[in-house]
Amino acid sequence: MQIIAHRGAAAYKPENSLESFREAIRLGGNFFETDVHLTHDGALVLWHDYEFEGRAIKTGLLRDFPLATLKELSDILPPAANLNIEIKNDGNIYEGIERAVLNLLQTYPPQLKERILISSFDYPTLQRVRDLDADIKIGVLTRNFDVSTALALRAYSVNISVKRVNAEIVESCRKNNLKVFVYTVNTAAEAAAMSALGADAIFSDYPDLLSLKH
């Protein structure tokens, strides 16, 4: 079972910062996850919430936010890294964010683009990603599991909460050649349970979780 560094090494450094991702790399991580928003001037910034210090990211400019960009993250990733880009786009507030992400990926070396996974909780966002790119890997973030959604998108994985995943869901994904990625797993006991359940990967704030004693 693989560990996906959730927003970098978020247990040790500020989440979604370059410092956090550098720490995850130092700890031996090779699969990373980040959240992406689109600023008013077209920058793809790494942040989880829709506001930064009380201001909506949508209406701001890159210079307004001391946030890392997706381009900066890609520049520091190891050559063999895998990256899950979660597009934050509830209610389609970022018109064109899908194309902006895919355009940036076109500048990546082919071997890196092949290891990119695009995820979102917003189904229309994922549908637009699929319409724009027939080959990119898609991870369906889901609060209410429905395998038909993943199949319609020709998804690679179902990304689901540790609080919601169960044996039936894992079995359904297995039958349909879908990977099961579980978030957010931060204890050794939870990791062991997810491994026993058959999860392919877990998202963790601790990239070194499997070597920790907690």
What is residue 214's predicted lDDT score, i.e. its pLDDT?
54
- Rounded to two decimals, the pTM is 0.96
Q: Which two tokens stand for residue 140?
A: 């369906």
Q: For the domain with range 2-36+76-211, which CATH number is right: 3.20.20.190, 3.40.50.2300, 3.40.1280.10, 3.40.50.300? A: 3.20.20.190
What is residue 22's predicted lDDT score, i.e. its pLDDT?
98
Compare 80 and 6 and report the one with higher pLDDT: 6
The set of residues, in sequence order, having a beta carbon less than 8 Å from that of 3 and lying 6+ positions away, is 29, 31, 201, 202, 204, 207, 209, 210
Residue with tokens 């996974």: 117
Distance CA 53, CA 157 (A): 33
Mean pLDDT of 43-59: 96
